Amino acid sequence: MNEVLRDVDPSELQGYIEPKQLPPRGFWGEGEPEGGEDEEWNGDDIPSLGHGELEQQREIREYMRMAAWELPLLTKYAKPFEPPTAEKPLRFRYTSYMGEQHPAANKVVVEFSVTDIPNLTQVQQDKLIKLAGPRYNPDTQIIKISADNFETQAKNKRYLGDRIADLVSEARNPKDTFADVPFDFRHHKPKIFHHFPKDWVMTPQRKQLLDQRREQRWQLEQKRVEEGTLVDGAEIVKEALSTPIFEQAEPVMIEKGKAPPPRRPTTLGAR
């Protein structure tokens, strides 16, 4: 650059500043945009923590605007609730994670009651329960099956539908009714519910007796306060801190063979 500007009149170069040569970017900087030099700090900006707070406020206000202006528009898509009919005994449950991708979002759970499956005799219902195995809850009489083997909820739902169809088809198969196979409910651990004993219920007579005892104790304390016999812990501590405990002479270091000087009495106590 100096060789190029050698024959140029210096008066024509007023205000010209030769750009600084940036260091090589290296392998990890290839393909990145040129950022240039950092701006000078003049104390007129907030730190990065403040920018983070502002970004959070912007996000909150964005959702507030959506709740104020866009959510009311969804009322035109509202439908009245209709309970499921006997033709739809299956209840599917999905899990959605708003704003993120989660591996459990593909999981689908289906529940149905054995008695809700149409066209099943008692023998076929018992066979269906035995085929379900540990997926049957004897307390609620509900079979619950889940699937998360596939990458979408639709595929997992289809898989569950096929499995339930196979179970019902096998339960209706008259070749083997599993009548000689006993029920096995060892997988189910019933929950123990502790009910409040009836003998512990607060009766009006018991409540009146407790109120009388509280009134007697309060009157006894008031009488002791008037007589001055009530022990006040705060007063005892205050009195102990204000009075010395005992007096002891202050020890003095002396040389060997010399008589000790008279000791000055010192009062030891809590101040």
Name all domains of the chain by residue range, CATH numbers in brackets: 90-172 (3.30.160.20)
Mean pLDDT of the chain: 85
> What per-residue confidence (pLDDT) applies to 54?
95
Gap between the Cα atoms of 5 and 12, Å rounded? 11
Cα-based distances in Å from 37 to 20, 23, 30, 46, 262: 10, 12, 17, 20, 81
**Looking at the predicted structure, is the pLDDT value of residue 32 above 90?**
no
Return the higher-pLDDT residue of 40 and 163: 163
Tokens matching residue 229: 């016999």
pLDDT level of residue 270 (50, 70, 90 thresholds): very low
Gap between the Cα atoms of 216 and 210, Å rounded? 10
pLDDT level of residue 25 (50, 70, 90 thresholds): low
Gap between the Cα atoms of 257 and 218, Å rounded? 69
Residue where the block lists tokens 């030891």: 268
pLDDT level of residue 15 (50, 70, 90 thresholds): low
Gap between the Cα atoms of 51 and 45, Å rounded? 9
* pLDDT, average across residues 59-88: 92
Gap between the Cα atoms of 138 and 84, Å rounded? 23
Distance of CA 195 to the CA centre of its chain: 30
pLDDT level of residue 271 (50, 70, 90 thresholds): very low
Q: How many residues does the chain have?
A: 271
pLDDT tens for 169-217 read 999 999 999 999 999 999 999 888 899 998 888 999 999 999 999 999 9
**Looking at the predicted structure, is the pLDDT value of residue 91 above 60?**
yes
Cα-based distances in Å from 161 to 91, 116, 154, 167: 11, 16, 11, 10
> What per-residue confidence (pLDDT) applies to 109?
97
What SS3 state is found at 86? coil
End-to-end Cα spacing for the chain: 84
pLDDT tens for 239-266 read 888 876 666 667 777 777 666 666 655 5
Is 0.85 surpassed by the pTM of this model? no
Gap between the Cα atoms of 64 and 71, Å rounded? 10
Q: Which helix (H) or strand (E) holds 249?
A: strand 246-249
